[in-house]
Structure 1
């Protein structure tokens, strides 16, 4: 077992690091990392159906898809994340309780009543502080989990607040739970860094032959390449979403109403149906054709619509209002 604490707080780097170590090393790993604010979506989720896109854009919070399944989570500097990568027998690789035990045991030693509950949750007095997910690769499993230590829970709830009625798809939906921070249950204050050190010590107790690991320059270069090609790429973070039907009714100041229905396949708009009192119906079929084949991406649609005369197709509605109706 090799262990380390990541020196990076870039969410795309740390998720790329997980995949790189899983697929390029034979050794078992345990490592911890803390990210700058970010929304991390599960592999099989529809990204737009899981996040408050408007708030994420306003606050410049990046959205990154991870390799494992499960629901969307919010990371910030008060959230400590852990990852186990181990080999095992096929069919017996996934064991959430086993790989959560260093976390539970560390907290028990701090006199915090932490428990493993349900399929993969860690709780304190019935409130969730950690969710876990896994990904199997050949004869190996990567299990990782969040740990809410001193996260901004208000911000978490705001960024994950979305209107589920806008999307119809087969993506995995996040299940919202009552959550709590670990720090609220500690009898004496410790820093997140101190908490990370205690978990590492617990891992070393459970794996006496564990040795410290450091990413070398070659590792970092390959992780950064994977980060650029995948984890910082719209195609992975948004376009990989399951195919979906987007439906939204928008009411604008002045009484304008616009209803949009779109079929999205691999992130690309396949068809568009529009209705409302602001439409110039004799021209609208030409407008709909212009959007077919475009990415369901705000910057793409803004660029597309900026090149045409909005007044030729719509009444009493601005460019920015029109763009907002598509998300």
Structure 2
């Protein structure tokens, strides 16, 4: 079994989203990143209904089957971060880490997924970070990560394949090579697998959330839940309508889509 220890440092905050609406969750993540700068470290755990998230610089037609998404009412979103296209459903757990850098030394990307690695190691499952930054189980991809940075504040998120519909994932993210070649930032295709078969019987996505929170408590002096007021809900409603659900953001030519300012 792999063991990792990290000295406890500073306070941090976390939020487990009760919603499975992908537009709500991405707007909430945006709020944590852009509006809560005084909080140096924030974590978010969230699960979405079936949806597809593109990277900031990708072109939808080159990454997925748009007709299939429309026929099956699968949401399409564009992230503010870079990286490739990923499929979400109720069998995926999304982990977000938002941190400020006061040192001027930049961020250690290898450190961001370590709470996940420690949580899984505690259940006898060893996952390794590949040179590309994703997480691998026995060589198969189980988590794809992406990040964004603005004024010494980083947004890092990773989509973990816990018990996702891998057939649906493959169906949606398969396009012809001729079309894919036209993408400015094409996704790197990898063989994938779910974490669930490697974990103990009866282990749930909620158990994984709790194990990740336990690993985070080892990293911080204090880990506190966030509570929100009505103004946050108003921010989410505005951002999802004017930005994340808006066709100009999802389908705009690369580089021309408007990004919210911090």
Pairwise same-fold verdict (TM > 0.5): yes
Residue 325 of structure 1 corresponds to which residue in structure 2? Answer: none
**Higher RCO, 1 vs 2 (CA within 8 Å, ≥6 residues apart):** 2
Query: Which stretch shows the higher mean deviation, 42-51 or 205-214?
Result: 205-214
The 5 Å alignment of 1:25-174 reads 25=36, 26-27=38-39, 28-89=41-102, 92-166=105-179, 169=182, 171-174=184-187
* Structure 1 residue ranges without an equivalent (≥5): 243-265, 268-327
Q: Secondary structure at the match of 1:189?
A: coil
Residue 212 of structure 1 corresponds to which residue in structure 2? Answer: 225
Aligned to 2:19, which of 2, 5, 8?
8
Q: Secondary structure at the match of 2:34?
A: helix
- Contact 2:63–2:180 (CA under 8 A) maintained in structure 1: no
* Structure 2 residue ranges without an equivalent (≥5): 1-11, 258-262
Relative to the length of structure 2, the TM-score reads 0.88
CA-to-aligned-CA distance 1:117-139 (integer Å, 9 cap, x gap): 21211111111100111100112
Relative to the length of structure 1, the TM-score reads 0.71
Q: List structure 1 runs of 4+ shifted beyond 2 angstroms.
A: 89-96, 166-170
Residue 236 of structure 1 corresponds to which residue in structure 2? Answer: 249
The 5 Å alignment of 1:268-287 reads none
In the alignment, the residues of structure 2 paired with residue 153 and residue 8 of structure 1 have an alpha-carbon distance, to the nearest angstrom, of 22
Residue 4 of structure 2 corresponds to which residue in structure 1? Answer: none
CA RMSD of aligned residues (A): 1.7
- Contact 2:127–2:138 (CA under 8 A) maintained in structure 1: yes
Aligned pair in 2 of structure 1 residues 161, 195: CA closer, same or farther (>3 Å)? same
Residue 239 (structure 2) pairs with residue 226 (structure 1): yes
In the alignment, the residues of structure 1 paired with residue 160 and residue 192 of structure 2 have an alpha-carbon distance, to the nearest angstrom, of 11
Deviation of the 1:188 alpha carbon: 2.6
- Contact 1:116–1:123 (CA under 8 A) maintained in structure 2: yes
Select the structure of larger CA radius of gyration.
Answer: 1
Number of aligned residue pairs: give it: 244
Residue 28 of structure 2 corresponds to which residue in structure 1? Answer: 17
